[in-house]
Structure 1
Amino acid sequence: MTTADSHNGRRLTARGAKTRARIVAAAADLMYVKGVGNTTLDDVLAASGVSKSQLYHHFEGKDALVRAVVDHVGAHVIARERRALGRVSTIRGLRRWRDALVQNSALQHAAYGCALGSLAAEVSDQDALARQTLFQLFTEWRDLLAGVLQRMQVRGVLPPEAPIDQLGTGLMAALQGGYMLAQTARDVTPMATSIDMALAHIESLSSG
C-alpha cells in the first residue's frame, strides 16, 4: 500500500509514511515548545529517532519540514474545532468552547500560546507558501465560528442584520490576542477576559 507525499509528489510505502509522520510529529512538538527558530534538524533527528538519510529522503531541508508541520498542526486544530463548534448554536455552547480552550491553556500555564498562532508569528514573513497555508487555516477556523453565529441567527437568537462575518473575525481576533497575552503573562486570565468581552458583545446583540 502506498500513500502520496503531498509536498514532493512521491508515493510512500506504509513504512515510509509512518517514518515521515514520526518526523513531522516530533518536529511539531519541538517547534511548539521551543519555537521554529530554536528547533534544529539535529533536534528533530534526536526526538524522532530517525537517521539523517531518512529525514532528507522525506524533506529537502528545514523549510519543507516546517511546511509539513504547518499542515500537521493545522489539521489537528481544525479537526478539534470542528468537533467543538460543528453543532453549537447558542451563547452557552460558545461559552463551553471558551472554557475548554482556557482550561487547556491553563494546564500548560499558558506557556506556549496557540499552536497555529505561534507558527504564524514565526514563519509568515519567512515562507510565502507556509503563510498562505496558515491564512487558509485561520480562515477556516474563523468560518467555523461564523457558522455558529449564523446558526444563532437562523434560530432567531441574533437579529437578521447582525454582521456575522465581522463578528466571527472579531471573536477569532479576541481568541488569538488572548492567547498571546496569556503566553506573555503565563496566566490564562487575559485570555479568558478577551474572549469573554467578545462573547458579551455578541450576546448584547441577542434578540432575546
Structure 2
Amino acid sequence: MVQSEHSVKPARLTARGEATKARMLQVAAELMRVKGVAATTLDEVRSASGTSKSQLYHYFADKDALVQVVIELQARDLLDREEGYLRRLNSIKGLERWRDAIVQRSALRGGAHGCQLGSLASELSDQNEPARAALAGHFGTWLRLMSDAFERMRAAGKLRPEADPEGLATGLMSALQGAFLLAQTTQDVKPMKIALDMAIDYVRGFEV
C-alpha cells in the first residue's frame, strides 16, 4: 500500500486490545460516514461497539484523537483499493474500467454518503487543522497514483508528449469529487458517470 507521510504508526497492543480498538474504529468510521463527524458522539461509539467509557478513553484521549485515526482507517481502505486499480492502469480502457468500478460501488449505496475522504474533508478542513493536513496528505497520495498512471501511458506512447500527467490527475480528481457530490445529493449515480465520462473524454483528446 502507498503510505502517506501523514500516516500514524499504531502503538503495540495485545491481540485482545487490537480487536477492541478495531471494533471501536469500525463503528466510529461507519457512524461518522453516515451521520457526519459533528453528529457522532463518543457515547454512541461506545454503545454501538459494546465497549466501556474507560476502554474508549484508554485508546483515544478525546474525539479529535478518534477522528484522526478514523481518517487513517478510511484512507487505508480507499487507497488500498485505488492502488489495486491505478497501479495497473496504462490505457484509456483501463481508465474506463476504473470508472466503472467507482460508479458500481457508489450504486450499491444508491449514491449516498459520498467519497470516504471527500466527505471528511468537506466537514473537517475548515474546522480541524490536523485533520485537514492529514486529508491533504492522503489526497496527495491518491493524486500521485493517478499521475503515475498517466505518466506510464505517456511513456508507453499512448498519450502525446505534451500531455501533463499531474494536470490530468488534478482534473480527473476534481471531476471525481464533484461526481461524488452530485451522486450524493441526487441519490443517483447517473450524474457521476456523466462527469467521469467527460473527464475521460478530455484525457482521450491526448491519445496517440
Provide the TM-score with structure 1 as the length reference.
Answer: 0.93
CA displacement 1:99-149 (0-9 Å, x = unmatched): 010011011110111011001111112221111110011111111111111
| Gapped regions of structure 1 (runs ≥ 5) | 1-5
Q: 1:161 to 1:7 in 2, by over 3 A?
A: closer
User: 1:9: Cα distance to partner?
Assistant: 7.5
Q: 1:11 to 1:158 in 2, by over 3 A?
A: same
Does residue 94 of the first structure (1) align with residue 79 of the second (2)?
no
Aligned mates of 1:67, 1:143 — CA distance in 2: 22
Match of 1:12, SS?
Answer: coil
Does residue 13 of the first structure (1) align with residue 14 of the second (2)?
yes
- 1:114 — aligned with what? 115
Aligned mates of 1:185, 1:106 — CA distance in 2: 12
User: 1:14: Cα distance to partner?
Assistant: 2.2
Aligned mates of 1:52, 1:8 — CA distance in 2: 24
5 Å-filtered alignment, 1:77-156, equals 77-156=78-157
Aligned mates of 2:168, 2:54 — CA distance in 1: 48
CA displacement 1:48-99 (0-9 Å, x = unmatched): 1111110001111111101110000001100000111111100000100100
How many residues are treated as equivalent by the alignment?
202
- 1:3 — aligned with what? none
- 1:182 — aligned with what? 183
Paired AA for residue 77 in structure 1:
L
| Cα RMSD (Å) | 1.4
- 1:55 — aligned with what? 56
Does residue 193 of the first structure (1) align with residue 206 of the second (2)?
no
5 Å-filtered alignment, 1:24-63, equals 24-63=25-64
Do the aligned residues in 1 keep the contact of 2:8 with 2:72 (CA within 8 Å)? Answer: no
Q: 1:39 to 1:154 in 2, by over 3 A?
A: same
Do the aligned residues in 1 keep the contact of 2:175 with 2:195 (CA within 8 Å)? Answer: yes
Deviates more, 1:17-26 or 1:87-96: 17-26
Aligned mates of 1:11, 1:86 — CA distance in 2: 31
Aligned mates of 2:31, 2:139 — CA distance in 1: 22
Aligned mates of 2:96, 2:20 — CA distance in 1: 39
Aligned mates of 1:111, 1:165 — CA distance in 2: 29
Paired AA for residue 173 in structure 1:
S
Aligned mates of 2:163, 2:9 — CA distance in 1: 44
User: 1 or 2 for the larger relative contact order (CA 8 Å, sep ≥6)?
Assistant: 2
User: 1:11: Cα distance to partner?
Assistant: 3.7
Q: 1:68 to 1:102 in 2, by over 3 A?
A: same
Match of 1:194, SS?
Answer: helix
| Gapped regions of structure 2 (runs ≥ 5) | 1-6
